[in-house]
Chains A and B, each alone.
Chain A
């Protein structure tokens, strides 16, 4: 079975940061966004909020760069995972992650990243808007197809001529 992945639709995000709260409570028993795996980046002056978290990359830079092979792909859970027994805390993975999704906890001297809460991501569970959702990646684009088709359908209703650029 195809493993699910976290999919972000930033347009739906209200910027409440509940995902950051529940992530740190679930993993560390504390409220502390600096320990959250997910973070909502904000452009408050235009009302734009973008939740950022690990994409569980297929060709993961963190996994590739790890000098001691502490990072491995967990196919069953659909995640890129860190084995802390092997990790030496060199933070090479933090340096190469293009999304800033690999983090370092200076108190525990450990890297940490999204582990999909072992199948029930709390950020998704608590996001009523489903700005962060948990779906099978092959279905990710279906909703977008539908939305784009809807726009074409509405344009037709208005009697507008649809111009295909370049044709």
Chain B
């Protein structure tokens, strides 16, 4: 049966493995993927634990539509208490792991405790084994995967891997899969490293039963057409996510030189068309795109690193990789003020091999560069590295040093911004562009209050994939916005097509927060919903796709409520772990520079813009109100009861 699925709870300290079913009532409350993972993390991690201690848990979750007829049921969520922020850590990657995990008979793997020596978990056809990882430890992300396939004698094994950065406890280490599927922004790789867990390897030949196969197939055909007919996805399918850079940088919407400017100048080399040209040339084919399981958008390019002095110096000439993504353009070019294609391609390759978050490492290096510029760090602190903006070699050098923790500064920066600022001292914290202790991606939200609000409220810390109303930049007519934002629950408040406005934005953030939680529960891609395109599927379509695939009869409103519940559990987790709304370290507030430094570059609707603090606080208060939270952002007892979470703390885990 489509809903008869299992969770494995693995304790690495005792080597005990519990296999449990997912009760139907839990399904109806949380669906699967990230929503159910939030519940599992809440119940299986010890309140207030040190994220690097055995008391933390790391949870690998496939969405409820993983491997099914849902355009691309490819996404895996990895959730843990984030070693970087001390709050919720959750990342999401595509590729082929989630479907394989489900073919192996499992939807979620909960890992607790700590192994005495390096191990990996092998999940195959209903069985879970803890195996010795002595031959895998120390290997890069891809080397480890090819080695485990060799060891298990099966080239189709799919892995969720902790790379060398995770082994070295870099606090923003990723879990990786395949060449470059990256579980960014969650710190899961670091938690894995702290548990001596090198990877979860999955291989399965079991059925995932489709409730109504022919109907699912036919619906999927139309669903895919809806997705691939969107212009934004067609562009993504040829240029990949770097196409976004073409728009945002020329407009003035990217952070450069840490946070000092909002546009990178003279950067033709890293424009999407040039990346695309190199990609095709380097792999010798006009068909240069690849993608995740089942996906017809295929938004990722393949490339080889060009023969340049920088590539020769670091010994990576001709290495194969995939991407680079929009985020890497920001991390290795915009933020550190670099303009060269080879820096971008090498930086992207190194983070894939080390298994570290490109955004966090790029932001951290750029922050250090500003400290260097301001004289807070000197060449004595950097081991002689000339950490000035635009120094390509210094960026690549620092990626190595942070991931290996082999220099004093690399070691400090591997601890993440807040901990590093405590060690560096002086004014260093002032220059850190973070929310909840996680640094921002490279986009600049000073001209877009809706996007700024999203950053401050994102449950995993500053982040664009939790609730960003990206379509706010499209100046959609109000009736179109009304159609989107008053379904599946009514909304009669104001809406504005002007992205520099503050009115109506809190509701948009509420709506997108639930939209993205729902899509993460389903385990499908955000590019297949109302994220970058206004015509893409959401709640209405999901009700159908769920019915045909798993046989669950849920209304669009039911899915909305499930998403709201998932978000509430994440919020309750954060509150349990010390989040307070105005705390500059763990709060729901923007870094001060958003309120005080106007944009210096860009189009007329950007230049001179900054966030009005009072209006921001009003937006936040409205967001709390819409979500049924009190003035401190804590769910009211009535809201908690409404979503059936009143016993969350007391009840024994239902899984």
Q: Which residues of A does B touch, CB under 8 Å?
A: 11-18, 21-22, 25-26, 28-35, 42, 44-47, 49, 122, 125-126, 128-129
Judging by beta carbons under 8 Å apart, are B142 and A45 in contact? yes
Which of B146, B206, B289, B298 is close to A32, meaning CB atoms less than 8 Å apart? B206
Judging by beta carbons under 8 Å apart, are A44 and B293 in contact? no
Interface residues of B in 87-124 (CB under 8 A from A): 96, 99, 102-103
CB contacts (< 8 Å) of A49 on chain B: these are 290
CB contacts (< 8 Å) of A122 on chain B: these are 217
Q: With A17-B96, A45-B179, A128-B228 in contact, is A31–B208 under 8 Å at CB? A: yes
Q: With A15-B290, A16-B291, A45-B142 in contact, is A22–B217 under 8 Å at CB? A: yes
Q: With A31-B99, A129-B287 in contact, is A47–B322 under 8 Å at CB? A: yes
CB contacts (< 8 Å) of A30 on chain B: these are 207-210, 213
Query: Which secondary structure characterizes the binding site on chain A?
Result: helix
CB contacts (< 8 Å) of A31 on chain B: these are 67-69, 99, 102-103, 207-208, 210
CB contacts (< 8 Å) of A18 on chain B: these are 293-296
CB contacts (< 8 Å) of A129 on chain B: these are 287, 296, 298
Judging by beta carbons under 8 Å apart, are A11 and B285 in contact? yes
CB contacts (< 8 Å) of B72 on chain A: these are 16
B551 within 8 A of A: no
Which of B210, B285, B293, B296 is close to A25, meaning CB atoms less than 8 Å apart? B210
CB contacts (< 8 Å) of B214 on chain A: these are 26
CB contacts (< 8 Å) of B207 on chain A: these are 28, 30-32, 35
**Other A-B pairs, 16, CB within 8 Å; known A18-B296, A25-B216:** A14-B287, A14-B290, A14-B291, A22-B69, A29-B213, A31-B99, A31-B207, A31-B208, A32-B205, A44-B178, A45-B146, A45-B320, A47-B179, A47-B302, A47-B320, A122-B217
Give Cα distance in the complex from A18 to B290, angstroms. Answer: 13
Minimum distance in angstroms from A96 CB to a CB of chain B: 23
Interface residues of B in 306-346 (CB under 8 A from A): 320, 322
Digitize B221-233: 1 where CB-to-A-CB distance is under 8 Å, 0 elsewhere: 1001000100000
Interface residues of B in 262-315 (CB under 8 A from A): 283, 285, 287, 289-296, 298, 302
Q: What are 20 residue pairs bridging A and B, where the CB atoms are less than 8 Å apart in the complex?
A: A12-B287, A13-B287, A15-B291, A16-B298, A30-B209, A31-B69, A31-B207, A34-B103, A35-B207, A44-B179, A45-B142, A45-B146, A47-B283, A47-B302, A47-B322, A49-B290, A126-B221, A128-B228, A129-B296, A129-B298
Minimum distance in angstroms from B154 CB to a CB of chain A: 12
Give Cα distance in the complex from A18 to B205, angstroms. Answer: 16
Query: Which of chain B's residues has its CB closest to A10's CB?
Result: B287
Give Cα distance in the complex from A18 to B96, angstroms. Answer: 11
Give Cα distance in the complex from A44 to B102, angstroms. Answer: 21
Give Cα distance in the complex from A28 to B290, angstroms. Answer: 27
Give Cα distance in the complex from A13 to B295, angstroms. Answer: 12
Query: Which of chain A's residues has its CB closest to B125's CB?
Result: A34
Give Cα distance in the complex from A83 to B290, angstroms. Answer: 38
Judging by beta carbons under 8 Å apart, are A16 and B205 in contact? no
Q: With A32-B205, A122-B217 in contact, is A47–B290 under 8 Å at CB? A: yes
List of 5 A-B pairs having minimum Cβ-Cβ separation, nearest first: A34-B205, A30-B207, A29-B213, A47-B302, A14-B298
Minimum distance in angstroms from A46 CB to a CB of chain B: 6
Give Cα distance in the complex from A15 to B207, angstroms. Answer: 21
Judging by beta carbons under 8 Å apart, are B103 and A32 in contact? yes
Minimum distance in angstroms from B534 CB to a CB of chain A: 22
Give Cα distance in the complex from A25 to B212, angstroms. Answer: 10
Query: Which of chain A's residues has its CB closest to B68's CB?
Result: A31
CB contacts (< 8 Å) of B293 on chain A: these are 16-18, 21
Give Cα distance in the complex from A42 to B291, angstroms. Answer: 13
Q: With A11-B287, A31-B210 in contact, is A125–B221 under 8 Å at CB? A: yes
Query: Which of chain B's residues has its CB closest to A106's CB?
Result: B205
Give Cα distance in the complex from A11 to B285, angstroms. Answer: 8
Q: With A18-B296, A122-B217, A128-B228 in contact, is A25–B209 under 8 Å at CB? A: no
Give Cα distance in the complex from A96 to B555, angstroms. Answer: 52
Minimum distance in angstroms from B312 CB to a CB of chain A: 21
Give Cα distance in the complex from A45 to B290, angstroms. Answer: 12
CB contacts (< 8 Å) of A32 on chain B: these are 103, 205-208
Query: Which of chain B's residues has its CB closest to A21's CB?
Result: B294
Q: Which of A21, A45, A125, A128 has the most CB of B within 10 A?
A: A21
Give Cα distance in the complex from A126 to B206, angstroms. Answer: 23
CB contacts (< 8 Å) of B292 on chain A: these are 16
Q: With A12-B287, A46-B320 in contact, is A26–B217 under 8 Å at CB? A: yes
Query: Which of chain B's residues has its CB closest to A26's CB?
Result: B217
Q: With A17-B96, A45-B142, A45-B179 in contact, is A25–B103 under 8 Å at CB? A: no
CB contacts (< 8 Å) of A29 on chain B: these are 209-210, 213
CB contacts (< 8 Å) of B209 on chain A: these are 29-30
CB contacts (< 8 Å) of B291 on chain A: these are 14-16
Give Cα distance in the complex from A26 to B213, angstroms. Answer: 7
Query: Which of chain A's residues has its CB closest to B103's CB?
Result: A32
Digitize B109-152: 1 where CB-to-A-CB distance is under 8 Å, 0 elsewhere: 00000000000000000000000000000000010001000000
Give Cα distance in the complex from A25 to B146, angstroms. Answer: 30
CB contacts (< 8 Å) of A35 on chain B: these are 207
Minimum distance in angstroms from A24 CB to a CB of chain B: 8
Give Cα distance in the complex from A12 to B237, angstroms. Answer: 13
Q: With A32-B206, A45-B146 in contact, is A25–B320 under 8 Å at CB? A: no
Digitize B483-498: 1 where CB-to-A-CB distance is under 8 Å, 0 elsewhere: 0000000000000000
Interface residues of B in 165-212 (CB under 8 A from A): 178-179, 205-210
Minimum distance in angstroms from A109 CB to a CB of chain B: 15
Give Cα distance in the complex from A29 to B212, angstroms. Answer: 8
CB contacts (< 8 Å) of A34 on chain B: these are 103, 205
CB contacts (< 8 Å) of B290 on chain A: these are 14-15, 47, 49
Q: With A14-B298, A16-B291, A29-B210 in contact, is A21–B67 under 8 Å at CB? A: yes
CB contacts (< 8 Å) of A47 on chain B: these are 179, 283, 290, 302, 320, 322
Give Cα distance in the complex from A33 to B272, angstroms. Answer: 35
Which of A17, A25, A42 is close to B217, meaning CB atoms less than 8 Å apart? A25
Minimum distance in angstroms from B9 CB to a CB of chain A: 25
Judging by beta carbons under 8 Å apart, are B294 and A17 in contact? yes
Give Cα distance in the complex from A49 to B291, angstroms. Answer: 11
Judging by beta carbons under 8 Å apart, are A33 and B103 in contact? yes
CB contacts (< 8 Å) of B289 on chain A: these are 14
Interface residues of B in 570-605 (CB under 8 A from A): none
Q: With A34-B205, A45-B142, A45-B146 in contact, is A25–B213 under 8 Å at CB? A: yes
Q: With A12-B287, A29-B209, A122-B217 in contact, is A21–B103 under 8 Å at CB? A: no
Give Cα distance in the complex from A25 to B473, angstroms. Answer: 39
Minimum distance in angstroms from A132 CB to a CB of chain B: 13
CB contacts (< 8 Å) of A46 on chain B: these are 320
Query: Which of chain A's residues has its CB closest to B145's CB?
Result: A44
Which of A12, A16, A22, A33 is close to B295, meaning CB atoms less than 8 Å apart? A16
CB contacts (< 8 Å) of B224 on chain A: these are 126, 128
Minimum distance in angstroms from A105 CB to a CB of chain B: 10
Minimum distance in angstroms from B223 CB to a CB of chain A: 11
